[in-house]
Structure 1
Amino acid sequence: MARSIDQQIATTQAKLARLKERQKASETRRKIIVGSVVISNALKEPDKARALAALLRRAVTREVDQKELVGLMAELDEAAARADRK
């Protein structure tokens, strides 16, 4: 039996919603991977730690986000300070 136009639209909308969900998950995974690489690299290289900390201080403006980054900022500042002590 042939499906009605409304059924076809509903099926297509459901497929589109699943594709959008997959796209968002992919974007999230990409951000996590890039963030992980950037952070681990910055913690090993003082100049990069200093640059990342400066970027985050400039770019992260929401208080709730700043609170989330307190520990990371301390680690970056410590990594940058290691170069100053040498």
Structure 2
Amino acid sequence: MARTVDQQIAETQAKLARLKTRQKASETRRKIIVGAIVTTEALNDPKIARWMASTLRKNATREVDQKELVGLLAELDQVAAKADQT
């Protein structure tokens, strides 16, 4: 039995939804990878640490995000401060 136009539209919409889900997952993975690399570099390089701490403080405006970043910001500040001491 041939599919109706409505069935074809529904199948196409379902396929589009699956593709959008896959795209979002890919974007999330990319953000995680980049974030991990930049964080690792920042914890080893005072210049990057200063930039990252400043950027996070400026852009993480939600209270829940700020609370999540407290520990990382402290680590970044320590890396930057060690460079200032030398």
TM-score, structure 2 length as denominator? Answer: 0.95
| Structure 2, unaligned runs of 5 or more | none
| Structure 1, unaligned runs of 5 or more | none
* Number of the residue aligned with 1:15: 15
* Number of the residue aligned with 1:33: 33
* Number of the residue aligned with 1:57: 57
1:13-34 Cα deviation digits (max 9, x unpaired): 1100000000000000110011
Mapped to 2, the partners of 1:55 and 1:4 lie a distance apart of 53
Q: Percent identity?
A: 70
Query: How many residue pairs get matched?
Result: 86
Q: How big is the alpha-carbon RMSD for the aligned residues of Structure 1 and Structure 2?
A: 0.8
TM-score, structure 1 length as denominator? Answer: 0.95
Mapped to 2, the partners of 1:51 and 1:14 lie a distance apart of 43
